[in-house]
Structure 1
Amino acid sequence: MNEKENQKLEEKKRKVLEILNLWESREIGRVGNETRTREEKKLNMVEDDALEK
């Protein structure tokens, strides 16, 4: 694999881990609606971004 492919894989891996971390924090730390809503918005943005690539 060349450097460009490696970078793309690393970026995808980072996004997947970010999504998993957001899901985990969403499940564990439901500290009121405001926090959950903010995390869900971020999660949706990250998921949409990951799906576009």
Structure 2
Amino acid sequence: MESHNPVESKKSSCSNASCCAPKTPIIRSSPKVGRNDPCICGNGRKYKKCCGKNT
């Protein structure tokens, strides 16, 4: 029986960087919304209790 090593499973399956696309940073068009900030939909509740509840 082979033992499952969780450290090895987190490594990427590709050891050659030339075959993978380079990682590009994510650029937001608007500022990041925090969990305790007012909701972006404008109803007055906190984001975590409104639109961020299902994420």
TM-score range, shorter chain: under 0.3
Q: Which has the larger radius of gyration?
A: 2
Q: Bigger relative contact order, structure 1 or 2, given CA contacts below 8 A and separation 6+?
A: 1
Higher normalized helix content (fraction of residues): 1
TM-score by length of structure 2 reads 0.22
Using structure 1 for the length normalisation, give the TM-score: 0.22
